[in-house]
Chain A
Amino acid sequence: MKDALLKTLAGLIFGFLGAALISWIVGESPLFVMKVMFESAFGSVYNFGLSLFYATPLIFTGLSVAIAFHAGLFNIGAEGQLALGALAATCFALWFPSLSPWLGIPLALLFGAIIGGFWGWIAGWLKEKRGSHEVITTIMLNFIAAAIVSWLVTKVYQSPIVQSPETAEISEHYFIQERDPLYQIFDGAPISIALLFAIGLAIGVWVLLFKTKLGFEIRALGKSESTAEVSGISSSKVRQIAMFLAGACASFVSFAEIIGSAGKYRLGFSPEYGFMGIAVALLARNNPIGILFSAFLFGALHKGAADLDIETEFVTRDLSLVIQSLILIAVAIAIEWKKGRRA
């Protein structure tokens, strides 16, 4: 545990040093670049709120990737699962606009989770029935999901009053921003109680994975399928459940992005949260509690880099991607380091 933390820390330092070096090479003062990024991520209550806002969906997608990973599956499909799940939650809100928030929001999230979970389950089921590799199927399912969502948003639910491809606004029974306690703290940053839900969910997933029978079965399957089968675990069932849970976790992005901030489904709202979730989970070694921290780091980097476009001459917000990649490379190397020497 201590060893893992140390390696992650080393990766972080390597990432930031690398970014500093690159800024210096292109002609920016590294200190100034770091200062801009720090201020942009934490400099004001609003900025800090935005960092947390970007972190929230990453917690959901990070958990999605992690659950699948514990079952020995690579879920590259969180992007598609979150798109379909979020649209389903939006549709629920549009279909039943007058339910009370206490009933409507949980039901909308549940409906989204069922649809998102179903989309994840397809990959688990295909693996079972056809032996199709989940990396391929989840990637392909992303494209199918994107096509379905595009069609539904532009042809069925398109709001008639705007040019952008987006649905009508959900009713104020669902869109509770004005009454949201977190929203009021952060000076207009689009943060919502979805953050608290995300933290709760991370703890829940941790309990599920490490304290329950199902969690044990998932992890056993991930470690060794044959051992799991011998000890009486149905790998088929567990795999499908794990993929369903992964899809359901990803779908909760709708809480942060739609119910919590936009109030409608905007086509292409996700800056690839699903794929960033893979990095978030990797950095946290698929530990649900660790995901909270790595999601926050990535959220802060995403927001922190935004002001680089405004303040600096030669570096742009893409620097955050460079830092993220460097951190991941360094961490990946650090994890393999000891193993490599032993071999």
Chain B
Amino acid sequence: MYFIEKKVRLPAMKKILISLCFLVLTVSSSAWALNVALVLDKGGKDDKSFNSAAFAGVEKAKKELGITYKYVETMDDTAVEATMRSFAAKKYDLIIGVGFSMAEAVKKVSKQYPNISFALVDAEVDHPNVRSLLFEEHQGSYLVGAVAAMKSKTGKIGFLGGMDVPLIRRFAMGFEAGVKKINPKAEILENYIGVTGEAWNNPAKAKELSLAMFSKNVDVIFAAAGASNYGLFDAAEEKRKYAIGVDSNQNWIKPGTILTSMLKRVDVAVFDAAKDLKEGKFKGGTVRFGLANQGIDYAMDEHNKSLITKEIKTKVEQLKKDILSGKIVVPDYYKRNE
């Protein structure tokens, strides 16, 4: 009897000890290191625009919150899901999908791993462990539209979209409304680079389209096209016309050519998600970023100070106030059928 009892007891003791060790380990690791996985879309980490903003967000979280992170750039749609599953299986704490093309993968994987937190930029997934980060792009586009109209001498203004999807049409619609607010007679040319994800990374075609628009007397173009924006900036510098950047502050890329940038603070949204998780305040649901909480804005810095006169700035600030007070309602492509 004695022997049997001993045999039973020892493994039990061991188990308790081991689980205690694990407890200590897991508690300590969750207090010190948060593992964040960032899955970027086809524009890539160095698009200096949308994906770069997300990347800047985790970089900041690394510096200020001491998280560790890994990032992956998308290859094909099946790979996105497999990659997220790999991250989840490796027990990453937060998996961030950057771009609407990640929605389906986030939907599937977040269901399989209910204990892991997810964040999704530009699309909504209604699971308790997913935070959807949405932006009011039309508001910011309206403001830069007003800037474009005030700087244009020919009254012809261009819009260059990346992928032809509702999200980018939303930029276009807001932009057009902003232009018309200042100059109702202005003519607006609208072009899109493509219909697949490759459109985010095709500066050559962006340049062709920009040059074509400039040759039709357009003198300001706003591009919402990820890494393809470079094509516009090149064309604008060559032809001595104006360009407007998007998502990140792109003013520094070609000072004197880039009037301003429509800021979409993906970096703030991503950083906040990591911060909330670290502080135990992470909740699922949709978070909206707009002019009101500076998630959307237009960029002013030393690179474009000489381009934006005081009158322009005052006018734009006035428009901003009017949008915030509800005096101006910017048309929203998502609500076009209402």
Contact = CB atoms under 8 A, between A and B. Distances in A.
A306 B82 contact: yes
B196 A268 contact: yes
A163 interface: yes
Nearest to B100: A163
A103 to B, nearest CB: 28
B85 A46 contact: yes
B166 A271 contact: no
Contacts of A150: 195-196
B100 A164 contact: yes
A157 to B, nearest CB: 13
Contact of B76 (A153, A162, A165, A271): A271
Contacts of B75: 271, 306, 317
Contact of B101 (A164, A190, A270, A317): A164
Which applies to chain B's interface (DSSP): helix, strand, loop or mixed? Answer: helix
B240 to A, nearest CB: 35
A54 B78 CA distance: 9
Given A164-B100, A165-B165, A268-B196, A310 B78 contact: no
Interface in A141-196: 150, 153-154, 162-165, 188, 190
A165 B166 CA distance: 11
B192 to A, nearest CB: 10
Interface string A53-83: 1100000000000000000000000000000
Interface in A268-318: 268-271, 303, 306-307, 309-310, 317
B86 A163 contact: no
Contacts, number: 69
Given A162-B103, A306-B83, A53 B78 contact: yes
B197 A268 contact: yes
Interface in B66-100: 70, 72-73, 75-79, 82-83, 85-87, 89-90, 100
Nearest to A313: B70
B82 A188 contact: no
B148 interface: no
B198 A268 contact: yes
A310 B90 contact: yes
B123 interface: yes
A306 to B, nearest CB: 6
Nearest to A273: B76
Interface string A186-216: 0010100000000000000000000000000
A309 B165 contact: no
Given A53-B78, A164-B101, A306-B82, A267 B90 contact: no
A74 to B, nearest CB: 25
Given A190-B78, A271-B76, A317-B75, A165 B86 contact: no
Contact of B195 (A54, A267, A270, A309): A267
Interface of A: 40, 44, 46, 50, 53-54, 150, 153-154, 162-165, 188, 190, 261-262, 266-271, 303, 306-307, 309-310, 317
Interface of B: 37, 70, 72-73, 75-79, 82-83, 85-87, 89-90, 100-101, 103, 112, 122-123, 163-167, 195-198
